[in-house]
Amino acid sequence: MASSSELTDLVMEQLTGFGLVLARSMFGGVGFFHHNLMFALIAYDELYFKTDDQNRGQFESENLQPFCYESKGGKRSVMSYHQAPDRVIEDAGEMLIWAQSGFAAALRADNAKPLAKRKYQG
């Protein structure tokens, strides 16, 4: 598997057709933002996309695991992101399909917030 830096470069290359995407270092990983919404992340040299009740089945049907981490207190936390299929790294068309799904989940989460707290600028 590529290092996080190499993986970030590959992901950014494959997301060229998605529009403006910003990659930001976060907690030892990288967050990917589109219209101020985080729709993907790299953690532990693995790419994950944002999930919710509407798109989670797409990931689960391919046995893609959720992003989990252990807090300092030893508590295991599961986040609303799931692994990306390996094929998206080599296929820009697949990357766009999965990125759109992740962004849609991020947009739904943002729309559920009070208007004053929304981040979407699209």
Query: To which residue do tokens 């004053």 refer?
Result: 116
Residue 111 within any structural domain of the chain:
yes
Residue 72 within any structural domain of the chain:
yes
Q: Which two tokens stand for residue 91?
A: 């296929």
Q: Model pTM? A: 0.91
Residue 31 within any structural domain of the chain:
yes
Distance CA 31, CA 22 (A): 8
Q: What residues contact 68, with CB distance under 8 A and at least 6 apart?
A: 76, 77, 78, 79
Distance CA 60, CA 39 (A): 17
Residue 78, domain CATH: 3.30.1460.30
Domain count, the chain: 1
Confirm if 40 and 50 have CB atoms less than 8 A apart.
yes
**pLDDT more than 70, % of the chain:** 96
Domain that holds residue 98: 4-117
Query: What are the pLDDT digits (tens) for 37-52?
Result: 999 999 999 999 999 9
